[in-house]
Amino acid sequence: MSQWAARAAAAERAVHTRHLGWLWGLPATRLGRTGWPGRSTHWHYWWQAHLLDCALDAYQRAPTPWRRETIAALVRGVRVRNLTGWVNDYYDDIAWLGLALQRGARVAGLRAPGAEQAILRRLRSGRGPGGGMRWRVGDDFVNVPATGPTAIFYARRGNLGIAASLVDWVLEHLIDPHTGLVFDGARVNPDGSVRALERAVYSYCQGVLLGACVELGKATGAARWWQQAEATVRAVAGHLTDGGVLRGHGGGDGGLFTGILARYLALAAATLPAEPSRQVAARLVLDSAEAAWRHRGVAHGGPVFSPQWTADARPPGPGLAERDLSVQLSGWMLLEAAAALPSLGRPG
């Protein structure tokens, strides 16, 4: 086992020990407790989708029956806990679950065709006027967190025209001409015109744009998708790092943002046709992973990660981001990304 794989396994054990449990005592289910220590009853649908994705990373790294059983139990847990079915009113949430379920079928042979069809039906109703994906049902906010993963979902299904049109809307309206980074989203009028830009810059928006361009580049071979993917890698390296380490976004939902970017940087590092761009993407992942590991803390079950990978992790406790499942998933996701790049570097 490589050192990166061992570190990823340690992060996996820590999340399993502190956060994973049966749902309502039902033995065929698993779900992630959103905070540790203490009780956490709030339902974070999309955090569970990323927990499932991390479990799939671990299975892909080292396939075992118990990992496969955990994945199946997590899928059942999400369905039972969501109460009303597979979907909710947030298009970004259901796109994330759709991506995880796609991977579950491909990587572990665990198929949930009813779930994917329910997600597909809901996503079809989510296009905003003009072309991107609404954030939630009935909203006029069209944003990258919904549009990006939906484009990846469609591209992996082979619906390339829909995926391309979603990404083209983002490229037309939301790229910052000064940095090359993508803004969060826009308020869109019924006629498709943009009323106001939401200019916040989040790491996961860059990640899903990168992932969508990589998927379209792989599927079509068109140079424009590779060029945009490379431009996004350069923009991230130039504007979203501290000393070469990807910048965090605190706790809560923000705790997942930079782990998601690391996931798609690792995909780019394995896929981009240009060697220099592959190396930049790989270096961002590996340097961030080294920093996160160097600044880790230790608690029951294993390592604790800081929401900012250049800062020392604090012992998890009330009001601290280190308590959040999102932050610990992000660290786990980062280490799995590093473990997936064995030929591109080793821990320092």
Task: Give Cα separations from 344 to 160, 264, 287, 292, 335 (angstroms).
Answer: 30, 15, 12, 18, 14
Alpha carbons 236 and 20: distance in angstroms, whole number: 33
Q: What is the pLDDT of residues 251-263, one digit of tens each?
A: 999 999 999 999 9
Q: What is the pLDDT of residues 68-114, one digit of tens each?
A: 999 999 999 999 999 989 999 999 999 999 999 999 999 999 999 89
Contacts of residue 124, Cβ cutoff 8 Å, sequence gap at least 6? none
**How much is the pLDDT for 345?**
39
**How much is the pLDDT for 41?**
79
Alpha carbons 327 and 332: distance in angstroms, whole number: 9
Select from 54, 69, 77, 44 the least CA-distant residue to 8. Answer: 54
Alpha carbons 270 and 286: distance in angstroms, whole number: 13
**How much is the pLDDT for 25?**
86
Cβ–Cβ under 8 Å, residues 31 and 48: yes
Cβ–Cβ under 8 Å, residues 25 and 314: no
**How much is the pLDDT for 39?**
81
**How much is the pLDDT for 342?**
61
Phi, psi of 278 (to 5 degrees): -60, -40
Q: What residues pair up with 26 in beta bridges, in sequence order?
A: 23
HSE at residue 71, side-chain half, CA atoms within 13 A, is: 28
**How much is the pLDDT for 1?**
63
Local structure of residue 313 (DSSP, 8 states): P
Say what the pTM is: 0.96
Q: Which residues of the chain have pLDDT under 70?
A: 1, 342-348
Cβ–Cβ under 8 Å, residues 126 and 89: no
Q: Which tokens in the block code for residue 40?
A: 């956490």
Q: Which residue has the tokens 């009853």?
A: 41
**Sequence spans of domains, the chain:** 1-37+51-81+94-108+241-348, 126-239
